[in-house]
Every structure is written in C-alpha cells, then in structure tokens.
Amino acid sequence: MLKAPESHLSTPGFFRVVCLMVMKDLAVETRSKEIVYTTIFFAVSCMLVFAFGFVQEGREIDHVAAGILWVTVTFAGTLALGRTFERERQNETLRAILIAPVDRPAIYVGKFVVLLVLMAAVEVIVVPLVSLMFQVPIFEHSILLVLLLITGTAGFLAVGTLFAAMLVRVKSRGVLLPVVLYPMTIPVIIAGVRGTALLFQPEADLAMAQAWIGMLVFFDTVFITLALWVFEPLMKE
C-alpha cells in the first residue's frame, strides 16, 4: 500500500453538497427554462380542462376545487420529476455525481429541494387560478393553505424523487414512474385534498385542517427518512 499523499481535497459536508446540487440545478434550469415552463404550461392546461369540465354556469360541482388542485399538482410534479432526472441521464452526469466522494443521500436531498422550489413556482400560479375558476377563498386561511401545500408537495416529492432516481436507467421509466408513484402517495394526496377542502368550504374547519397537516408532517418524516436510508443502496447500477 502506498503512503497516503498529502491531501489536496476537503470533501464537502452533507449540507454543502445539498447546496451545490441545488445551485447547479437552478443554474441549469435558469439557462434552459425547460422544466419550469413545461410544468407550468401543463399545470395550467390541466386546471383549465378540469375547470371547463366541472364548472357549470359559474358554479363548481360538489366542491371539487381541492381535488382538482391536488390532481394538477401531482400530474405536474410527475412531469417535473421525470424531466429532472432525464436531464441527469442524457449525459450520464448522474454517474459522475455518484462517483464523487460525497454522501449520496445529500444528492437525493439536493434534488428534492430543487423539485420543491420548481413545484412552489407552479403552485404560485395554479392556486390563484383555482381560486379564480372555482371561486374558493385562498387568503382567509392562507397560512394553513401554504402549510398544506408545502407538506403535501414535500410528501409527494419525497417518494417521487426516490422513484425517479431509481428508474432513471429503466427504459420504460416514463410509464413506470406514475404507476409506482401514485399508489405509494395516495395517503399524501388524500390528506392534501381533505385538508384543502376543509379550508375551501364556506365555514372552514381549521381544527381538522390542522390535523391533516399533522398527518402530512408524519408522512413526510416517514418518507424522507426511508428515502435517505435506501437511496445509497438503490443507486447501485
């Protein structure tokens, strides 16, 4: 064995790697604007289709606004998940990142944070659109609504980021991602829809909405912990 050379490397810590991944992905997205534009366009189109389908004479049918909001968020999220990892696959940059001497779960967290930022941009446009199309209040209990959106989106993306990374080398990944993702995230989607519907109804049930937020925090904790635990072994080729 050779004597170890004098170190010219200071391996970055966990949060440093997360920051590097986030800054790199945001820089790439700023140049291409591919994911944010396509995801927003898709989300708005989806919302409009639902709005024309479920609104009759200016009135929505049976309080569907919350459901449509979350269906739009999950569909748009699936698109963003697929494209984010497709970008890493095209030039095999994921391999270059995986071979770097960094904590691999930090790569997962970096991708997760970037996707959260992208989905926040989508929701900033979609939520007011829901309010406009379905005449639902979004400012009355805005803090709870924001908390529901953050925790719900985080739960969905926690699982989605893991699955999208796992499927990045699978040929039929475009089909497989929603097939494996939606059944796993049903509890998150139900909690998001129920909690949001409670805030959108004429007399908001704040206590129950908070309970759903609590449930989403629990799901997020479980999903993120599991993802951090399994990410490294799952990323072996």
Binding site for other proteins (CB under 8 A): 1-5, 7-12, 17, 20, 24, 27-28, 31-32, 90-93, 95-103, 236-237
- Tell me whether residue 66 or residue 97 sits nearer to other proteins (CB atom): 97
Q: Which amino acid is at 169?
A: R
Give the 3-state secondary structure of residue 8.
Answer: coil
Distances from the Cα of 6 to the Cαs of 2, 3, 9, 10, in angstroms? Answer: 12, 9, 9, 11
Question: Please, which residue, 98 or 211, has the CB nearer to other proteins?
Answer: 98
Buried/exposed 52-69: b ≥16 CB within 10 Å, e otherwise: eebbeeeebeeebbbbbb
- Shortest Å, Cβ 26 to other proteins: 11
CB 181 within 8 A of CB 159: yes
- Six token digits for residue 217: 């925090």
Q: Which helix (H) or strand (E) holds 60?
A: strand 59-60
Nearest distance from residue 161's CB to other proteins, in Å? 19
Q: How far is the CB of 87 from other proteins (least distance, A)?
A: 8
Q: Considering only CA atoms, which of 137, 129, 140 is closest in space to residue 63? A: 137
The amino acid occupying position 15 is: F
Q: Which is nearer to other proteins, 92 or 140 (CB)?
A: 92
Nearest-angstrom CA–CA distance, 4 and 228 = 31
Least distance in angstroms from the C-beta of 171 to other proteins? 13
To the nearest whole angstrom, how small is the minimum distance from the Cβ of residue 127 to other proteins?
29
Q: Which is nearer to other proteins, 32 or 142 (CB)?
A: 32
Complex with other proteins: residue 59 or 171, whichever CB lies closer? 171
Q: Which is nearer to other proteins, 74 or 84 (CB)?
A: 84
Instruction: Provide the minimum distance between the beta carbon of 131 and other proteins in the complex, in angstroms, as a whole number.
Output: 35
